[in-house]
A and B are shown apart, each in its own frame.
Chain A
Amino acid sequence: MTTATHAHADHEHHGPPSGLKRWLFSTNHKDIGTMYLVFALIMLFLGGASAMVIRAELFMPGLQLVQPDLYNNLVTNHALIMIFGAVMPAAAGLANWMIPLMIGAPDMALPRMNNLSFWILPAAALMLILSFVVPFFPGGGTQINTGWTLYPPLSLQVGMSMDFLIFAIHLLGVSSVLASINIIVTIFNMRAPGLRMMQLPIFVWAWLVTAFLLILVVPVLAAGVTMLLFDRHFGTSFFIAAGGGDPVLFQHLFWFFGHPEVYILILPSLGVLASILPTFSRKPLFGHHSLVGAMIAIAALGMIVWAHHQYTVGMSLAAVKYFMIMTILISIPVGLIIFNYMMTMWRGAMTFETPMLFTVAIILMFSFGGLTGVMLAVVPADMQYHDSMFVVAHFHYVLLPGAVWGLFAGVFYWLPKWTGHMYDEKLAKTFFWLHVVSFNITFFPQHFIGLAGMPRRIVDYNVMFTEFNMISSVGAFFFGISHLLFLYIIIKTVRGGEKAKARAWESAQGLEWEVESPPPHHTWTTPPTIKTA
């Protein structure tokens, strides 16, 4: 409704404006989707670089590369950049590209707001980077040594870099809430005529649920860090015990956001799998309706279990028991999704192109992470495991397979659609194996050192943990390097390659495969006709 207000006959040939303007002022869902994805890729490398320094430091006990505060600042940045900079924008990129194509809409419902949601991100990233850079200058104060959870009282004592970070979080929050509103409105109002809600692909449903979760919890995080800012500068005592406040309150606010956030990270990726599985199993998706139900159940339950991250703060037995039972209950809908996916593969005529390889690896390794999650949910066990490397192993097993690989799988699956070229399958499979094997070498040993008592977020460790840390670090370097191959594959595919058909995968289903590859700048200007079953 903005750039394309020309005569109707003309729209097919209406290309994008050229040069920088095309991107700065873009209101086109495909261009904005591309920008989100490119931004996420840059952030992936930035977050990865900080992880490489962390693993290099932990290669041996003692202090080699970085001082304790800097180390903890790197841990903080790694988490925040990966979560807010890489995974969430990448998922938003997929949403922008695919939701309008999948529901037969010409664009997102609110194209200008779409532009705004994206362009806030680079500003937020700049703030985040500044928060890291400022302490290196005289008068810059201490580094952010709190970890991504920003618990007071420590976060009240950090220097001015914390203010940059708080501002960055506000910006990131605004961006993701705006994007969520846009996605919800698009899904409700822009569907092709006759396309009913229950017919929507699971990817669209997953994003609908995710968007609601974001709107419900991101403002609470924003409130929490705003109070932090007030306590730091305006003399309030929300979290200062000496002034009648309670530092534990921040933990409740943070995890009220933090636990739903983990579902925000995985749901879009689980949605991607629901598109991939039927294609490469050559069978319809098993249990479409129950998948929708499971995702809604996960979101609902996910909002009322947050305090399983705080078992050790001294809650009453009754409260702790409640959070334990509810947390363990979530594994039921999560398990249901996994079972539906396995049933989709059951007796299918499967082939293992890269997206499918990732999907199978996700089902195996994400489930493993879920298993350690249930261990952590058990209160007496968690009293031992809390804040140990075991927790680090747990969340990397759920987040990499659950969130990141799902995005990789989606990128490989839809890359032919976006670029019009098939990617190099041989290279992509090499990437898959290098990535998945080195992932396991990196994170599997962390279970053992965690159980043996190595704490997380500490720069130095007991010599008894040396061997496993060395294994982990070596794995991590290969893991890091594997991403260069990923980058190379993407660039190669964008530049050329075998021409992709409209239906790039022979048995792929869904409206996105009805448009050409690559799609013209404007698609579905006349909505598709929906076959009613």
Chain B
Amino acid sequence: MERDPDVRKASGRMVLWLGALTIGMFGFGFALVPLYNLYCQVVGIQSADQQRALNVQARVDPLGEVQDRWVTVRFDTTVHPSLPWALESNERSLRVRPGEIHEVMFVASNRSSAKVTGQALPTVIPWQANDFFNKTECFCFVKQTLDGGERREMPLRFVVSPALPDGVTSLTLSYNFMHLDG
């Protein structure tokens, strides 16, 4: 069963090649550490996380230059059925320029005779605009407690970030007031 020397030689060469391939793939595993980051940067397929970080940057730095383009901001209010309140805003919609600060007043009134606590949840539509709509002051940041029959004026101050993508020409800010126990 002595092997043909030609076969032995061919086998030996092949083992070397395959061994090199094995070691190469082990190295490739390590090479993936830098490649992984590089690839994402070059090809621009950022992970959702990095995309988010960019958006947050826009939020941190909302003022910048006031731009010469107009965006329509609409306001919408909903009160959850379990909360005996009414909620109105003094503006239904505003035309604003990115970078400008605006203030809108909201009026909440407690229609019951009991003391009730609620909190507003804001939503921005379309969601792509969410990170570019900056509320510098909002009644939704804290819980609101109204005595029976009380009426309260509450401010919202906001600025639309100059980084807002060009395609967005109008957005809606929608408040949903929820009942909180205690």
Contacts and interface: CB of A to CB of B under 8 A. Distances in A.
Interface of A: 1, 4-5, 11, 106-107, 109-110, 177, 180-181, 184-185, 188-190, 215-224, 226-227, 238, 246, 248-249, 252-253, 256, 313-319, 522, 525
5 contacts: A219-B23, A220-B29, A223-B27, A223-B28, A226-B29
Given A220-B28, A249-B36, A316-B48, A177 B22 contact: yes
Given A181-B19, A189-B7, A316-B46, A522 B26 contact: no
Interface string B2-42: 11000100110011001101111111111011001000000
B154 to A, nearest CB: 35
Given A215-B25, A226-B29, A227-B29, 11 more contacts: A181-B19, A181-B22, A185-B18, A216-B25, A219-B24, A219-B29, A223-B29, A223-B32, A227-B33, A316-B48, A525-B1
B47 A315 contact: yes
A184 B18 contact: yes
Interface residues of B, number: 29
Given A181-B18, A185-B14, A185-B18, A11 B26 contact: no
B131 to A, nearest CB: 15
Interface of B: 1-3, 7, 10-11, 14-15, 18-19, 21-30, 32-33, 36, 45-49, 51
A227 B30 contact: yes
Contacts of A319: 45, 47
A181 B15 contact: yes
B32 A253 contact: yes
Given A189-B7, A316-B45, A5 B1 contact: yes
A11 B2 CA distance: 11
B2 A5 contact: yes
Given A181-B15, A181-B19, A318 B25 contact: no
Chain A contact residues: helix, strand, loop or mixed = helix
A150 B51 CA distance: 28
Contacts of B51: 316
Contact of B22 (A107, A110, A219, A316): A219
Contacts of B45: 315-316, 318-319
Given A106-B1, A249-B32, A316-B51, A222 B14 contact: no
Given A11-B1, A314-B49, A316-B51, A110 B11 contact: yes
Contacts of B22: 177, 181, 215, 219
A8 to B, nearest CB: 8
A188 B14 contact: yes
- Closest 9 A/B residue pairs (Cβ): A223-B29, A219-B25, A219-B26, A314-B48, A220-B29, A4-B1, A181-B18, A316-B45, A319-B45
Contacts of B46: 316
A220 B25 contact: yes
A238 B18 contact: no
Contacts of B15: 110, 181, 185
A189 B32 contact: no
Contacts of A256: 29, 32
B172 to A, nearest CB: 23
A278 B67 CA distance: 75
B2 A1 contact: yes
A223 B47 contact: no
A317 B11 CA distance: 47
Contacts of A5: 1-2
A220 B26 contact: yes
Contacts of B29: 219-224, 226-227, 253, 256
Given A4-B1, A184-B14, A314 B25 contact: no
Given A189-B14, A316-B47, A252 B32 contact: yes
Contacts of A317: 48
A309 to B, nearest CB: 16
Given A181-B19, A219-B22, A109 B11 contact: yes
Contact of A314 (B1, B30, B47): B47
A319 B39 CA distance: 12
Contact of A1 (B3, B10, B24, B49): B3
A253 B26 CA distance: 11
Contacts of B21: 215-216
